Chain A
Amino acid sequence: MQLSTKHLLGIRDLQASDIQIILDTATQFKEVLQRPIKKVPTLRDVTIVNLFYENSTRTRISFELAEKRLSADTINFTASGSSVSKGESLLDTVNNILSMKVDMVVMRHSASGAPHFLAKHIPAAIVNAGDGINEHPTQALLDAFSIRENLGSLQGKKVAIIGDIMHSRVALSNIYLLKKMGAEVMVAGPPTLIPIHMTEAFGIPVEYNLKKALEWCDVANVLRIQLERQNQVLFSSLREYSLAYGINRRMLDSLSKEILIMHPGPINRGVELDSDVADSKQSIILQQVENGVAVRMAVLYLLAGKSTNL
């Protein structure tokens, strides 16, 4: 039982068997999290730095909790308030941290490819916690884990990824993963938020009509409108977006079947999801957050076992 890779840079580099191993391992860690004492001593000799060059609530807390539940030592680094503001380069910062004997780096960066760059230059194992508009592999893994938990398997399931596909690393990682695991994927949203050539690049259908996408799918993974990544006006107002692409109770009730609603968070309530959808029993959003810890424990455990650096 071994991963084929030393780092987790993106789902694109993983094989289907790797994904299977991670999800199966996460099942065991989920059981650990139900115990009276939710902690195992497995990584007590491992030191992990959480390198966050970009804001994060869920992912950072989730990784930190996963590390602590595995008994690893952790250091938290956020770019604001560090020597990055004095002009220290990424590589210098990381090399300085590594010289204090750190074994793994969990990293979020606003530049796509930053963890790949780092992987080429440093010996530690790297886990990508989101890089720019490229990938967010642990999010896709926890999404897959949550789908599997609710629907039994990924094979043949229809997943619609809805909203801001253009600026979303979650969308890209999810597309890679779902395709590798034999699920059917569709992207839906306004034409201005969906990159052209999606069908040619990934062989997946694109739908501009929300109702049709929801009719088609078993699972709707609704993405956040990333206002901070939009340098130009791609839709006229949030109200207009909400009217055309916001999911509300009335729309879900009009469907012929009950679908699962997922969201990677944070939710813009009343924009992509209405509260009566986000808080309904069809929504597994909080379950996703819970599963995130187990999935990240699995990733860290499997990579630590691989690492020759340790």
Chain B
Amino acid sequence: MKTILTEKELDITIQRLSHQLLENHLSYQDLVIIGIQPRGIFFSDRIVQQINRQIAPEKITYGKLDITFYRDDVRQGLHTLNQTDISFNVENKTVVLVDDVLYTGRTIRAAMDALLAFGRPAKVELCILIDRRYSREVPIQADYTGRSIDTIITQKVKVLWQERDGKEEVVLL
């Protein structure tokens, strides 16, 4: 087991990413953050927290998306469903999809498909905490990356969060 990000590094990375997001989207009225269920939510919660702190008292538009119905492997065993919570239209907005680990890219492909059911966004961007590069099965890349790492297929990246795992770090198993 190897630590990729310690608690402190994780915190700094999240701060950097939220600053980058704000830097690129000074008119954040049109910015929408959408976390991908189930594991991207912990990360997107942090990003949104940081952004809201910067732009207080205003708040960024934030939603959660479950992509189970859009997966390309429905018939290979069912996944547990999670709640989709998008109470706004994404028509002409800039949407930032947020997930913790980018690996094959299939989840993000499905997420982009699922997103279109909520309108036609002006632009879709991708914010990722850990990028397992050279592992893509579809042509998808992140616009904001916390840390890029080289992994082999038998390895597993585990992101631990305080509220779920009792501590905060990223490890490679």
* Chain A contacts to B: CB under 8 angstroms: 1-2, 24-25, 28, 31-32, 35-43, 45, 301-302, 304-305, 310
Contact = CB atoms under 8 A, between A and B. Distances in A.
Contacts of B119: 36
A302 B117 contact: no
B78 A2 contact: yes
Given A40-B70, A42-B74, A305-B74, A35 B81 contact: no
A32 B75 contact: no
Contact of B84 (A24, A31, A45, A305): A31
Given A35-B118, A40-B117, A310 B81 contact: no
16 contacts: A31-B83, A31-B84, A36-B117, A36-B119, A37-B116, A37-B118, A40-B114, A41-B69, A41-B70, A41-B113, A42-B69, A301-B69, A302-B78, A305-B74, A305-B75, A305-B78
Interface of A is mostly: loop
A153 to B, nearest CB: 18
B83 A39 contact: no
B46 interface: no
A297 to B, nearest CB: 9
Interface in B117-136: 117-119
Contact of A40 (B69, B77, B82): B69
B54 interface: no
Contacts of B75: 45, 304-305, 310
A25 B118 CA distance: 20
B118 A36 contact: yes
Nearest to A46: B75
B27 interface: no
Nearest 8 A-B pairs (CB), nearest first? Answer: A40-B69, A37-B117, A305-B78, A42-B69, A28-B81, A35-B117, A1-B80, A1-B78
Contacts of A24: 81
Given A28-B68, A39-B117, 11 more contacts: A32-B69, A32-B84, A32-B117, A35-B118, A36-B119, A38-B117, A40-B70, A40-B117, A304-B75, A305-B77, A305-B78
Contacts of A301: 69
Contacts of A310: 75
Nearest to B117: A37
B70 A42 contact: yes
B77 A36 contact: no
A263 B166 CA distance: 48
A302 B69 CA distance: 11
A56 to B, nearest CB: 27
B79 interface: yes
Contacts of A38: 117
A183 B95 CA distance: 44
Contacts of A305: 74-75, 77-78
Contacts of A39: 117
B119 to A, nearest CB: 6
A310 B75 CA distance: 8
B68 to A, nearest CB: 8
A32 B116 CA distance: 12
Nearest to B67: A40
Given A35-B118, A36-B117, A36-B118, A28 B80 contact: no
B99 interface: no
A77 to B, nearest CB: 25
A41 B114 CA distance: 9
B102 to A, nearest CB: 22
A302 B68 CA distance: 12
Given A36-B89, A41-B70, A42-B69, A28 B116 contact: no
A40 B74 CA distance: 12
A24 B114 CA distance: 20
B100 interface: no
Nearest to A70: B69
